[in-house]
Homo-oligomer: A and B are copies of this chain.
Amino acid sequence: MTDRLPEGDAMRLVLPCRPDYLLIVRRTVREFASMAGFAPAEVDDVVSAVDEACANVIRHGYGGPTSRPLAIECKNRTDGLEVRLRDFGRHTDPQQLRPGATKKRPAGGLGLVIIYEAMDEVNYASKPEGMELTMFKSFGTERSSGDGS
């Protein structure tokens, strides 16, 4: 298999913010995370987290599909992978962007649960225009089994 990617190497992907592009996002991020040196289940975690975060930007950040851009940046660090998502949609208080912080639609509210469970660090920030989400996953940490809900 491939060795780990060099530290600091980054990939940037910019796409219109629409659901039909999520498949490209998953494929591209999957490849980068595999090359970065994650185990298969960890790669799956990263793919789910990024997919969910992008879906939320479409649904909530832009309030629906739009041709406005969504930028995804993946960056290798010696200890893991950093993913940064930048949108230019509406502001939301970062405090609200935690699992269970807002009232859920029926059977909704699973996206943030997945994001926080899949990644080791999740950080939403308001920008002058739009929001930025920074996530980090370290290599080789087994996620605790999800029985403490």
Listed in ascending order, the chain A residues whose CB lies under 8 Å from chain B are 2, 5-6, 8-16, 20-21, 23-24, 27-28, 31-32, 35, 67
Contacts and interface: CB of A to CB of B under 8 A. Distances in A.
Contacts of A20: 2, 5, 35
Given A24-B32, A31-B23, A32-B24, A11 B10 contact: no
Per CB-CB distance, the 4 closest pairs between chain A and chain B, nearest first, are A12-B14, A24-B31, A28-B28, A9-B16
Contacts of A10: 16
A120 to B, nearest CB: 23
Given A8-B67, A67-B8, A28 B24 contact: yes
A13 B31 contact: no
A9 B2 CA distance: 33
Contact of A35 (B9, B13, B14, B24): B24
Given A27-B31, A31-B23, A11 B15 contact: yes
A147 B63 CA distance: 53
